[in-house]
Amino acid sequence: LDEQGLAQLMQRSSAITTEFENVPAAALVTLGSQRPVAPSADAVAICQDRVLEKAHFRLSGVPCAPHAVITAPAELQAVPDELLPGILKTARMGYDGKGQVRVSTRAELQAAWDGLEQAPCVLEALLPLEREISVVLARSSQGEVVSFPVQENLHRQGILAVTQVPAPHVPQALQQQALEAARALAQSMNYVGVLCVEFFVLQDGRLVANEMAPRPHNSGHYTVDACDVSQFDLQVRTLAGLPLVQPTLLAPAVMLNLLGDVWFDAAGAARTPPWADVLSVPGVHLHLYGKLSARKGRKMGHLTVTAGTPEQARERALQACTMLGLPAF
Ligand code: ADP
Ligand code: MG
């Protein structure tokens, strides 16, 4: 830990939060000794470690993928057949599909674990996904909870590609179930701040928790353009002890992530994406993060498309996809 850096941060700040789950939890403990810190070190510690996260799902009575913890060769040997084919995920530091390997056989599992330098891992059964959804909520130190509508997410290569709100294909009862599960997970961590819970909807209709992010989440970026309060507003409110209000979705929205791939043409040559074309589509809100170099798979920005109806939002987003060379959804 950079004790001097932490001291400086405390001196300059009246309250401290994080938008990144891989901040060492110990740093938050230090900061929390002298300043309000939310989410707490304990909550971040759970969300940054898949082993603790899975244990928290179980403790909160929220179903998650069948899995095994692998920290030693004996645990790898003892993995039950039901977990293959599966996904081996490092317990810590994974994001955007990094630190994950799909494995079908025990030999592949062994090779994958070796490839991950035998770091502590979780092996999850590969589940038959119907689709993916997420819930972003905010919880105050008094235990008050407000939430955004259920978001429907499409991932490509383990990276979020498209978010649609309202979720076009998710029955009301399932949405309610997701909201309640997310609330229960926040409650049982005594969570303060903005929390995102990612879920899988399985082909048999069951809801399974995937992972939690102790921060504003990519699937909630549309809230800046389409809601009366954004996930970032709520983050500040929870930190400052200001009142929480239930957010209202002002317009149906589709969010498209803009990965570095968009900065290359079909032949692989570098290009500036056709922003003027994209901005000619009504309802487009473009957000570029100012990152200097575009690499494939790197999140460079996103755009939110709002419209009067969900169909029109999708239609407009599809127009933007065509202009940018993104696949349809
Ligand atoms: P990350 O931290 O990289 O977001 P996730 O655990 O959310 O890691 O996995 C990324 C994506 O990989 C998920 O959104 C989903 O599309 C797919 N995935 C992850 N776990 C499973 C699983 N057990 N079964 C099927 N697909 C999965
Ligand atoms: Mg994820």
Mutate which of 102, 156, 200, 329 to test ligand 1's pocket (most atoms within 8 Å of Cβ)? 200
Distances, alpha carbon 151 to alpha carbons 55, 255, 296, in Å: 25, 10, 25
Q: Which atom of ligand 1 is nearest to the CA of 129?
A: 25
| pLDDT value of position 20 | 87
DSSP letter at 83? G
Q: DSSP states of 131-194 as a string?
A: EEEEEEEEE-TT--EEEPPPEEEEEETTEEEEEEES-TT--HHHHHHHHHHHHHHHHHTT--EE
Residue 33 CA to ligand 2 centre (angstroms):
31
Q: Is the CB of 166 under 6 A from ligand 1?
A: no
pLDDT digits (tens, 9 = 90+) for 180-233: 999 999 999 999 999 999 999 999 999 999 999 999 999 999 999 999 999 999
pLDDT digits (tens, 9 = 90+) for 66-97: 999 999 999 999 999 999 999 999 999 988 88
User: Which residue type occupies 97?
Assistant: G
Q: To the nearest whole percent, how much of the chain has pLDDT over 90?
A: 97
Q: Which residues contact 99 (CB under 8 A, 6 or more apart)?
A: 89, 90, 93, 116
Q: Is the CB of 158 under 6 A from ligand 1?
A: yes
What is the b/e burial string over 162-191, where b = at least 16 CB atoms within 10 angstroms of the residue's CB? bbbbebeebeeebbebbbebbbebbeebeb
| Token output for 64 | 């998650």
Q: Which atom of ligand 1 is nearest to the CA of 198?
A: 7
**Which ligand sits closest to the CA of 47?**
1
pLDDT digits (tens, 9 = 90+) for 96-146: 888 999 999 999 999 999 999 999 999 999 999 999 999 999 999 999 999
Using an 8 Å Cβ cutoff, are 104 and 84 in contact? yes
Task: Judge if the upstream peptide bond of residue 24 is cis by omega within 30 degrees of 0.
Answer: no
Q: Among candidates 265, 261, 254, which has minimal Cα distance to 305?
A: 254
Average pLDDT rounded to a whole number, residues 246-269: 96
Distances, alpha carbon 14 to alpha carbons 9, 21, 37, 42, 239, in Å: 9, 21, 9, 20, 10
pTM over 0.85? The answer is yes
| Token output for 327 | 């696949």
- Protein residue with its CA nearest to atom 23 in ligand 1: 126
The CB density around residue 254, as the number of other CB atoms within 10 Å, is 29
pLDDT digits (tens, 9 = 90+) for 298-325: 999 999 999 999 999 999 999 999 999 9
Residue 215 CA to ligand 2 centre (angstroms):
13
Whole-angstrom Cα distance, residue 9 to residue 224?
A: 27
To 10 degrees, what angle do helices 172-188 and 50-59 make?
A: 110
Q: Among candidates 191, 200, 275, 194, which has minimal Cα distance to 227?
A: 194
Q: Which atom of ligand 1 is nearest to the CA of 126?
A: 24
Residue 160 pairs in a beta bridge with 155
Q: Is the CB of 208 under 6 A from ligand 1?
A: no
Residue 304 pairs in a beta bridge with 255, 285
User: Which residue type occupies 224?
Assistant: V
Residue 308 CA to ligand 2 centre (angstroms):
30
pLDDT band at 21 (very low <50, low <70, confident <90, very high): confident
Using an 8 Å Cβ cutoff, are 297 and 261 in contact? yes
Check pLDDT > 90 for residue 275. yes
Q: Is the CB of 21 under 6 A from ligand 1?
A: no
Q: Is the CB of 130 under 6 A from ligand 1?
A: no
Q: DSSP states of 51-75 as a string?
A: HHHHHHHHHTT--B--EEEESSHHH
User: Which residue type occupies 45?
Assistant: A
Mutate which of 84, 87, 219, 257 to test ligand 1's pocket (most atoms within 8 Å of Cβ)? 87
Residue 35 CA to ligand 1 centre (angstroms):
35
Whole-angstrom Cα distance, residue 15 to residue 24?
A: 17
Residue 78 φ then ψ, to 5°: -85, 5
Averaged pLDDT of the chain: 97
